[in-house]
Amino acid sequence: MRMTVLASGSKGNSTVVASANTRLLVDAGLSCRELLKRMAVANEDPSALDAILITHEHHDHIAGLATLARRLRIPVYLTEPTHREWVRMVTPRTTMTYAKWLDHVQKEKELRAEAQLNRAPHGREDEVEAIVGTLPTPPDQPCEVIPSVAAASADPDPDECEDPPTPRRDPAHLPAIEYFRSGTNFSIGDISITPFTIPHDAADPCGFVFESESVRMAIATDLGYMPPNVKAALKRIDVLLLESNHDLDMLKDGPYPWAVKQRVLSRVGHLSNHATAEFLARDYDGGAAWIVLGHLSEANNAPELALLSAEQAIGGRMTLLGNRILLAQQAAPLTPICL
């Protein structure tokens, strides 16, 4: 198995988990373009991805989701409450009269015709894309108008992160959606997946354990504390991506407004270096080859503090092949971890 952390932190999270025959992307919290760039840097082939799995609907986990899923035409696995909340977030709330809608459609057609006449594929058409992409669908809009207008759009440049021509009217459109429930095991290809509930302020957030060929990898970030179900899920893990979000003193003295500090510190916020160390010292079974510390706050943590805290907690259990600790990065992918 292989884990490649493409990005980790409050500005975007995404990780490739792969077996011999199956490749999954967990979260898509950077733009589609940036995700493709990172995959290229890390030698991960996006066209080989089988599915995208989503932990929760916070922006740093879903920013590039719709565009990437449509671009790669792969299914998205998430829980039903997470999906519902995401749809609510991405659907424009502005309404528009039918007359205004027709006016927009007419203008859009004119722009397209003009762009074609001028043979400027990336000139005015970009403008059209911008209009079309942000246009809300009025509630009484007849369905057949949508594909006929969308069908007129130009073929997307395969090198660009643009939506395919249809159905671009719906920002919440995904090529395929598969629901899972936390606590219920499911498989994609030869990877067995166990999602587990995490305490975090999202609709139905979860972490994952992935297993293939007796190797187990887990992702547990964005959790306010370590409840018994998470401790139980993180047994016999070979590669563990674990949150070490903030240093308590840095957070308390740091720049965040009080309300945000309260949120981060709460039982549905993020794990501090201290809480992570406590888990590693008291509950962790010590069996991992790699522990990757992730979702580090840029404002309220320092990589060396997170690392020192985890190293002290692991203590004498760190060996040449066991309990090696890495720091996931926000700005660049980590070298793939292969077991």
User: Which residues of this chain interact with Zn ion, rule CB under 5 A?
Assistant: 58, 60, 222
In the complex, minimum distance from the CB of residue 174 to Zn ion, in angstroms, rounded to a whole number? 20
Give the DSSP H/E element, type plus range, for residue 325: strand 324-327
In the complex, minimum distance from the CB of residue 59 to Zn ion, in angstroms, rounded to a whole number? 8
Residue nearest to Zn ion (CB): 58
In the complex, minimum distance from the CB of residue 61 to Zn ion, in angstroms, rounded to a whole number? 6
Q: Whole-angstrom Cα distance, residue 42 to residue 34?
A: 12
Question: How would you label 213-240 residue by residue, b for 16+ Cβ within 10 Å and e otherwise?
Answer: eebbbbbbbbbbbbeeebeebbeebbbb
Q: Whole-angstrom Cα distance, residue 243 to residue 273?
A: 8
Residue 66 or 296: the one with the smaller Cβ distance to Zn ion is 296
Residue 157: partners with Cβ closer than 8 Å, 6 or more residues away: 122
Which amino acid makes up residue 194? T
Residue 108 or 222: the one with the smaller Cβ distance to Zn ion is 222
In the complex, minimum distance from the CB of residue 202 to Zn ion, in angstroms, rounded to a whole number? 6
Residue 1 or 28: the one with the smaller Cβ distance to Zn ion is 28
Residue 115 or 230: the one with the smaller Cβ distance to Zn ion is 230
In the complex, minimum distance from the CB of residue 201 to Zn ion, in angstroms, rounded to a whole number? 7
Residue 78 or 128: the one with the smaller Cβ distance to Zn ion is 78
Q: Both tokens of residue 167? A: 């159905």
Q: How many CA atoms lie within 13 A of 141 on its CB side?
A: 24
